Structure 1
Amino acid sequence: MGVFFTRYNIEERSRLIEVASGKLPADIVITNVHIILPHTEEILEKHSIVVKDRRIAGIVEDELVSKHISEETLIIDGSNDYVLPGFIDLHVHIESSLLDLIGFSKIALKHGTTTVVADPHEIANVLGVSGVELFVKASLNLPLKILIDIPSCVPATDPALRLETTPHVISDKEIEQLACLDNIIGLGEVMDFLSVINSSDKVLRKLKIASEKRLIVNGHAPLLTGRMLDAYVSAGILSDHESTSYHEALEKLRKGMWLYIREGSAWRDLAELSKILLEKSNCELCAFVSDDVNVYDLFTQGHVDRIVNLAIEYGLDPIKAIKYATFNPAIRLHMEDHIGLLAPGRIADIVFSKNIKEIKPHTVISNGDVIYYKGELKKSFPRYYYPEEALNTVKLGPLLENFSFTPRIGEINGTALVNIINVQPGSALTKRTVEELVVEDGEIRCDPSRDIMYVAVADRHSGTGSFSTGFIKGLGFKAGAIAQTIAHDTHNLIVSGWNQQDMQVAVKEIARIQGGIVVVAERQVIAEIPLRLAGLMSIEEPEEVFKKYVNMVEVLHEKYGLNFESYFMTLALISLPVIPEVRITDKGLVDVSKGRLISLVEDVFKA
């Protein structure tokens, strides 16, 4: 069906021509502004912008603007502000903000973002094709332009390996079906790089459909180099957002890949990769992306404006920094005819800032509508009524009443050699170690003195009762238990804690609120963030979600000295069986490099 705002409308264009030639008055005239032109890297001082309907009809000198004004024209005096095109985020998982599309849109727009490319990979793992369809439907009437990438790797592992209980599969047939929806722009990050370089027919069929439907194919190629990188690019995958070092990024650029420079909440690569931007006079294949940004950072630091400002801090020229967040992303999307610059015929996405050395959006126009004026929200956002199946996704079945978190080996007393998941908060990687733990009456005990705590993962999608238990070391968690339904990528229920009672309280609360993050101490819930939508996003107002997030951060910091973000993200990745070295799913411990389940207990020594 294509992207709705790119369709040529004869009546709209006719009115635009009439306004541009001075035969009809404008809807909005913005006067007395300095216009940033990222495509020519210039600033037009003391100019006006003429807007009709949703597009710009003209850029004129201030003294010539009167012929475009009538009594009905809204005149905005820019007061010598700088105006720049609306920001474009080429790759974001909205689910990671903990906000739904409406809440995310409100805050992103406040910070000057007018277009995003969302990869609904997380909700697709929970709800399958209907999750992607839901994203499309919910996005169509919002002032934020939300373009959708079809998730390419659902689930993250081959179901034939039976490493976890996965509720949905998006195959080439589903991709062909979804490609016909409005606002579908691309194929989401192709994470299964091994299948690509091994010429897997399953993956190549997906890439073929993307090519035939003229979808932009997005990559995910951490640490790929040399021949393996050549093979990956040869498949037709021409972007990557996983580069973390200068040399890795430079090689990908030299091989014709778009370098998406990521600066999110958990993964921050701009400091390192800005060296390339400072070294090259102009990086034609570079753009900024957020990937994952949480509600706290959105409220306190911003969205793409935060990335632009950081780039300026690192020494980048402000206009070039703006270019990597506006014009270059538009070129990548083949949409420079519509977005990414302020010029006649383009969508009126206009951001006001007093200064360009530090962008602070105060007035934002999107699609020709004033969304924020001097920081005040001026446009109402339509509500979206989510189907019940999207709001009730925690189905634990018999586990709710009979969930034992303590691994057992018969009725013996003694010790056991146990495979342990070693983590480092803030890092996605894990290590496997074998350590000796006490066994009492058949129960393997955790060990607070060595920071070895219980961890369990349970199927929460279909109520099969499937679950497994194990041990995690190094999380540094000091409260009683934490449970959450954010557990990449399948998003089963994961819970970790020091005793079975607190863990059971946390799980029961998760079931009651139908998804979210719950922290328990001494059998009491001390903080929680309900996430009703697929167990991933809140349907509350963004201010309310932010308030609950801040409360959880403060409670854990003040009572236990904990950094919420580091352990929350670490725990969320413990169940992802595609990142080395060892993970845990509802089926048990997974040796990632071998792609197989391994036993929890290596050996037992009776007392």
Structure 2
Amino acid sequence: MTRCADLLDPDRSGRLFAIFEDARRMGKHNDGHMAGASRRRLAALAVAGIRCCHEATDADEALERLRQGIWVIFRNSSLREDLPGLLASLDASAFQDRLAYTTDGTGVTFVEENGHIDHSIRIALQSGIAPGVAYRMATLNAATLLRLEDDIGAVAPGRIADVNLLSGLDSPTPEAVVCRGRLVVRGRSLVVPAPSEVFPWTDSYAGSEPTIPEWEPEVFLLPLHAPNPFPAGRLSNAAINRESPVRLAPAAGGLWPAEPDALALAATGRGGHWITRGVIQNMAPELLALATTYTSNAGILVLGRSPEAMAAALARLRRLGGGITLCSVAGKWSEFPFSMAGIHRSGGLAEAAQAAREFHGALAACGYPHADARYTLLFLTGDILPELRATEAGWVRVKTDEVLFPSELLIDD
């Protein structure tokens, strides 16, 4: 549940409670996205049915969730490396239950360089957590959270278990793995085809290809009735932006950001039937334009310093069939195709990691200063994080659920 505040809104909560109850009857649990929630709000959301949360960012927040009976899911990723600070909550409470790791927000290069859950276990061990607790958070605790502890989570009679063979408890990366009764890893290397090589990805995504519109440059202009100064979102990190007013100047029958570090933003759904316009600051001073289908609303996002550059980036994205295309102010184009539904590239982990490094390198060359640019692209169209976001309703302030500048309908369905 990402928009947890809706559970506390009488006009929206009824249908959600019905879904929660259906999930409970099916033996499922309700996971919450409760970033920054106060003690009172945590209590209310726990009563509403939220069972766990991965948004604690320090030991105090973790302990408060534990006190309220909420599972704490420890995150450590390319976006936020929170785990070392969170582990202090174990020392403070001597608590060993209602704790587990999560893979939330872990980028492909991060996995290739550090590992995955084994990396989290390694951090816990290096922080002085007892091995039994460090490994339990990846096994039995996780199974208990999912209400599957009678079936998985332990190597025991009657349980289903893949077996990871370690060189020692201080080395959580498996030397060998037995999966479904057969050896699949020996000497830390696969001895069977990787899942990405045998899973029918193309068939699974069939029919989900994005429809990318053709827009002329004038579509990207902010209209004359736009608020001036305009409420721009200044990035404070890869995922969060803060409201900051930006002056707009006349431009070719419309308005355009006058600040040198401002990028105009345009978001739409697949097909381009509507457009939401906004402004982003502190992203990349040498970025001329970027267009992508890699968004949390499964739509299209375009950023740029001129309407012409934005139209050119969108046109290249259309020819690409989905993915990311960007251009530096020096005129260098970089393209990253996502051939499956506009969100998934072909190939395995090594190829994906190399493409990710090239993307991050291209954006870093444009001056991108934050940790992981994927999250900037994803979350600009998702209304679950502060502060300003581009949704189908318009340019919205998330905390107050206020539309600051409404979207425009381009094609009447």
- Could you say which TM-score interval applies, normalised by the shorter chain? 0.7 to 0.9
Aligned CA distance change for structure 1 residues 590 and 561 (closer, same or farther; 3 Å)? closer
Equivalent residue, structure 2, for 1:452: 262
Question: Percent of aligned pairs with the same residue?
Answer: 24
2:159 is equivalent to residue 346 of structure 1: yes
* Larger CA Rg, structure 1 vs 2: 1
Deviation, 1:294, is 1.3
Equivalent residue, structure 1, for 2:390: 584
Alignment match of 1:405 (pick from 215, 220, 226): 220
Equivalent residue, structure 2, for 1:111: none
Alignment match of 1:526 (pick from 325, 329, 333): 333
Deviation, 1:587, is 4.6
Equivalent residue, structure 2, for 1:214: 27
Aligned CA distance change for structure 1 residues 562 and 298 (closer, same or farther; 3 Å)? same
Q: What per-residue deviation string (whole Å, max 9, x for no partner) do you get for residues 559-598 of structure 1?
A: 4454575343223212223433322235532133342322
Q: What per-residue deviation string (whole Å, max 9, x for no partner) do you get for residues 287-326 of structure 1?
A: 1112121111111111101111112222222332111111
Deviation, 1:425, is 2.7
Distance 1:259 1:389 in 2: 33
Equivalent residue, structure 1, for 2:247: 436
Deviation, 1:240, is 1.3
Distance 1:588 1:285 in 2: 39
Q: What per-residue deviation string (whole Å, max 9, x for no partner) do you get for residues 72-124 of structure 1?
A: xxxxxxxxxxxxxxxxxxxxxxxxxxxxxxxxxxxxxxxxxxxxxxxxxxxxx
- For the 8 Å contact 1:278–1:315, the answer to whether it is kept is no
Distance 1:362 1:561 in 2: 40
Equivalent residue, structure 1, for 2:278: 470
SS of aligned partner of 1:470: strand
Distance 2:235 2:42 in 1: 29
Correspondence 1:116-135 to 2 at 5 A: none
Equivalent residue, structure 1, for 2:234: 422
Deviation, 1:496, is 1.1
Alignment match of 2:293 (pick from 464, 468, 485): 485
Alignment match of 1:264 (pick from 77, 88, 96): 77
TM-score, length-scaled by structure 2: 0.87
Distance 1:562 1:419 in 2: 21
Alignment match of 1:574 (pick from 377, 380, 401): 380
Distance 2:120 2:22 in 1: 33
Aligned CA distance change for structure 1 residues 339 and 587 (closer, same or farther; 3 Å)? closer
Larger deviation: 353-362 or 490-499?
353-362
Deviation, 1:194, is 2.6
Equivalent residue, structure 2, for 1:393: 209
Aligned CA distance change for structure 1 residues 320 and 400 (closer, same or farther; 3 Å)? same
Letter in 2 for 1:407: L
SS of aligned partner of 2:219: coil
Equivalent residue, structure 2, for 1:496: 303
SS of aligned partner of 1:341: coil
- For the 8 Å contact 1:421–1:472, the answer to whether it is kept is yes
Deviation, 1:500, is 2.9
Distance 2:201 2:5 in 1: 40
Correspondence 1:165-314 to 2 at 5 A: 190-198=1-9, 200-314=13-127
Equivalent residue, structure 2, for 1:321: 134
Deviation, 1:361, is 2.2
SS of aligned partner of 2:291: strand
Aligned CA distance change for structure 1 residues 364 and 447 (closer, same or farther; 3 Å)? farther
Letter in 1 for 2:265: V
Letter in 1 for 2:300: L
Distance 2:39 2:188 in 1: 49
Larger deviation: 199-208 or 341-350?
341-350
Using CA pairs below 8 Å that are at least 6 residues apart, which structure has the higher relative contact order? 1
Equivalent residue, structure 2, for 1:510: 317
Q: What per-residue deviation string (whole Å, max 9, x for no partner) do you get for residues 259-287 of structure 1?
A: 11111221332122100122333421111
Letter in 1 for 2:46: V
Aligned CA distance change for structure 1 residues 208 and 520 (closer, same or farther; 3 Å)? same
Equivalent residue, structure 1, for 2:199: 383
Equivalent residue, structure 2, for 1:370: 183
- For the 8 Å contact 1:425–1:475, the answer to whether it is kept is no
Q: Relative to total residues, which structure has the larger strand share, 1 or 2?
A: 1
Letter in 2 for 1:349: D
SS of aligned partner of 1:216: coil
Letter in 2 for 1:207: F
Deviation, 1:384, is 0.7
- For the 8 Å contact 1:501–1:523, the answer to whether it is kept is no
Aligned CA distance change for structure 1 residues 433 and 259 (closer, same or farther; 3 Å)? same
Distance 2:86 2:131 in 1: 16
- For the 8 Å contact 2:217–2:310, the answer to whether it is kept is no
Q: What runs of 5+ residues in structure 2 fail to find an aligned partner?
A: 407-413
2:407 is equivalent to residue 597 of structure 1: no
Q: What per-residue deviation string (whole Å, max 9, x for no partner) do you get for residues 442-497 of structure 1?
A: 34334463x1121111222xx25311333211113423222222222x23211112
Distance 2:246 2:70 in 1: 44
Distance 2:132 2:378 in 1: 37
SS of aligned partner of 2:372: helix
- For the 8 Å contact 2:322–2:342, the answer to whether it is kept is yes
Aligned CA distance change for structure 1 residues 225 and 306 (closer, same or farther; 3 Å)? same
- For the 8 Å contact 1:516–1:529, the answer to whether it is kept is yes
Q: What runs of 5+ residues in structure 1 fail to find an aligned partner?
A: 1-189, 601-607
Aligned CA distance change for structure 1 residues 255 and 355 (closer, same or farther; 3 Å)? same
SS of aligned partner of 2:123: helix
Equivalent residue, structure 2, for 1:3: none
Deviation, 1:373, is 1.0
TM-score, length-scaled by structure 1: 0.61
